[in-house]
Amino acid sequence: MSFWAGYPEVQRELTRVQHLLQLETAGPGGIISRALQDLSGRDAKLLRPGFVILAARIGNGGKDLTEGSIERAAAIEMLHLASLIHDDIVDGARTRRGGDSLHITLGTRRAVLAGDYLFARSFALFAKSGGQEGLELLTPSVARLVSSVIDESSGLDDPKNSPLPGDRPRFDLTPRRYLHRIVGKTALLFALSFHAGALEGGTPPEELTEPLRRLGYNLGVGFQIIDDLLDITGDPRKTGKPGGTDLRAGVVTLPLILAMQRDSGGILPELANQVRHARWRTTRARALEKIHHRLERCGALGETRSLAERYTRRAEREILRLPPGTDRDILQETTARLLRRSA
Amino acid sequence: MSFWAGYPEVQRELTRVQHLLQLETAGPGGIISRALQDLSGRDAKLLRPGFVILAARIGNGGKDLTEGSIERAAAIEMLHLASLIHDDIVDGARTRRGGDSLHITLGTRRAVLAGDYLFARSFALFAKSGGQEGLELLTPSVARLVSSVIDESSGLDDPKNSPLPGDRPRFDLTPRRYLHRIVGKTALLFALSFHAGALEGGTPPEELTEPLRRLGYNLGVGFQIIDDLLDITGDPRKTGKPGGTDLRAGVVTLPLILAMQRDSGGILPELANQVRHARWRTTRARALEKIHHRLERCGALGETRSLAERYTRRAEREILRLPPGTDRDILQETTARLLRRSA
């Protein structure tokens, strides 16, 4: 919760969300529950439930939240956790939130079931409190989320049966395709989080939900662009993540896409390959640094930053359409922290 | 569809369902769509969508079905397919519906995503046409379904990190626990299929949904008991399945549970172990045959059959509570075929 430190009104409600998460993850029992409770207990930003809470407070004028909003916040976090668990299987990622990934602690088979359980419970929880409107928002977003992961994973290596057509990093992606992908992967669930909060106290008025949804959408796109940028340029000591995780998973993001348009057929694919298959951390770091400099020189990083900046400003414009107050101020601060970060 | 051969009124609607399945599985594109379309196209009983259709026709007096019922039927079949895909990963089953399992054709990672996609789309489709009522029925059943698979899989071996507590076949299961498991695994989704059909033409009257739900529930329990029985006693040439698949996956079913209560500490666990780890098909077949005879002699098979018979009669009683007509007759015939089969 450390991300929300300094916002007691948000933290108080997040405690209720985490309590519900503990109850829900206790469901399957045994080692799967222990693993889920460990994962959901690890320090996470809890961005999505935080957004639900802020949107709900903006809707109800800063009052304590109904159980329904807490349920929707927990449901969205469970959905997020489920997708993380399965993504880590798909990417073969060994760590998550500073600990082992679930497919490492539980083995792949149990990790599949653990994700499925969270998936199903999150829908059940959302169905209980989100009503028809909530579900007609939630369910297509989730399908779109999975499609985006599938699209992204078209570049993954599959030990079981590679090489496969499209089973190589996609350097030919268009920026449009990249944006379509991150909208599905991140922005729709951000937008949904804000909308789910707006459902506090029944059907919300258009003039509240529209700016909230657009805020979530633009915040989500900007957030993902910067996340992908930092995976190449970020200082691991600051980000806390090893660099180049996308490339290692065979995922090509915006900076590389833009650079490829500038010097396609250049040595970027070769460097990316080195990052991906490097035996030693030092070899990988060196290749990643070369990529970093190439992208800087050809202007791809600058263009990426200014695109992120465009979405940041859009998000900030939407915030100003919301009723003024503490919660709006918190939204402004967090948006700035998320979209203007360098780590 | 061969299971429904001879029932043109059901087949006609199933064709609509399969058309929708083809559209839905086309979503992700690429090799995942091709694999999903291949799987959903393989000869399957299509029991659940068939139940939706029959329940809907009983509700509307045998008229052509609205698109909503077709969507709910497709959604339930997609849910079933998703769980089959993930179950095959969990059990390490290499074949499904007479072909390769998806984790064989696609590799585990893509098979996880393929299942997730069907999972998400089935909820979206159900949300569209099932409404709040439908979803409050569907979503907890799915969570319960996953829990049952988790419970069942407490006996699975996980190459990644076995031995684990509970990572051995559970011979100490009580019949009660077994029933609880198959209710979650099969009966609730059968009950849901009938209820989903009853939603044809808006909110159905109690006197229609109640017998339909109870029919589905009892049919589901009886069906699963017989399925588990045939896995031990069935003639592979008739069932089309290799025997002992449950034991090989470390899953202990009713006949063995009852036999263990009779001679616990006997050689059954040892024989089960032979079935499970046999190097050669012949060794496995011999061990399975020994188990078969032991279960027959100690009366465990007889007791299993009579329990299945009890649920069959309950199902048949519920059918008689439904309005008479062709569709009720079809239900009677199919119930008898499913619960009085020997293969």
pLDDT tens for the 343 residues of chain A, in order: 689 999 999 999 999 999 999 999 998 888 888 889 888 888 789 999 999 999 999 999 999 999 999 999 999 999 999 999 999 998 888 888 888 999 999 988 899 999 999 999 998 898 888 777 778 888 888 888 888 888 887 655 444 434 333 346 677 789 999 999 999 999 999 999 999 999 997 778 888 999 999 999 999 999 999 999 999 998 777 766 677 888 888 889 999 999 988 876 678 888 888 888 888 888 888 999 999 999 999 999 999 999 999 999 999 999 999 999 999 999 999 999 998 777 6
What pLDDT, on the 0 to 100 scale, is given for residue A205?
84
DSSP code of residue B183: I
Q: How far apart are CA A193 and CA A199, in angstroms?
A: 10
Q: B2-339: what fold?
A: Farnesyl Diphosphate Synthase (1.10.600)
From A113, A139, A146, residue closest to B153, measured CB to CB: A113
Query: CB-based contact (8 Å) between B93 and chain A?
Result: no
Give me the residues of A, 140-169, that contact B with CB < 8 A: 140, 142-143, 145-147, 149-150, 153-154, 156, 158-162, 164-166
- B82-100 pLDDT, tens digit per residue, is 999 999 998 888 888 888 9
Q: Which residue has the tokens 């929707």?
A: A72
pTM value is 0.89
What pLDDT, on the 0 to 100 scale, is given for residue A165?
38
Q: Give how far B117 is from chain A: nearest CA, Å.
A: 6
What pLDDT, on the 0 to 100 scale, is given for residue A264?
62
Residue B237's Cβ-count burial label (10 Å; 0-12, 13-18, 19+) is exposed
Tokens of B237: 């040439």
Give me the residues of A, 9-48, that contact B with CB < 8 A: 27-28, 30-32
Helix count (H) and strand count (E) of chain B?
Answer: 16, 2
Host H or E run for residue B119: helix B108-152
What pLDDT, on the 0 to 100 scale, is given for residue B262?
83
**Chain A residues close to B164, C-beta within 8 Å:** 31
Query: CB-based contact (8 Å) between A72 and chain B?
Result: no
Residue of A nearest to B110 (CA): A90
From A92, A117, A150, residue closest to B28, measured CB to CB: A150
Question: Does ipTM surpass 0.85 in this model?
Answer: yes
Segments of chain B scoring below 70 in pLDDT? 1, 154-169, 239-241, 264-265, 343
**Chain B residues close to A119, C-beta within 8 Å:** 116, 119, 146
Q: How far apart are CA B245 and CA B230, in angstroms?
A: 10
- B118-151 pLDDT, tens digit per residue, is 999 998 898 888 777 777 888 888 888 888 888 8
* Summary mean pLDDT of chain B: 88
Q: How far apart are CA B133 and CA A15, in angstroms?
A: 30
Q: Give how far B295 is from chain A: nearest CA, Å.
A: 31
Residue of A nearest to B166 (CA): A30
What pLDDT, on the 0 to 100 scale, is given for residue B264?
63
From B28, B86, B108, residue closest to A160, measured CB to CB: B108
Q: Give how far A137 is from chain B: nearest CA, Å.
A: 9
**Chain A residues close to B150, C-beta within 8 Å:** 28, 30, 32, 110, 113, 117
Q: How far apart are CA A330 and CA A10, in angstroms?
A: 9
From A112, A159, A161, residue closest to B112, measured CB to CB: A112
Residue spans of the domains in chain B: they are 2-339
Q: Would you call A150 and B113 a contact, using CB atoms and an 8 Å cutoff?
A: yes
**Chain A residues close to B133, C-beta within 8 Å:** none
Q: Give how far B119 is from chain A: nearest CA, Å.
A: 8
Backbone angles phi, psi at B95, to 5 degrees: -125, 155
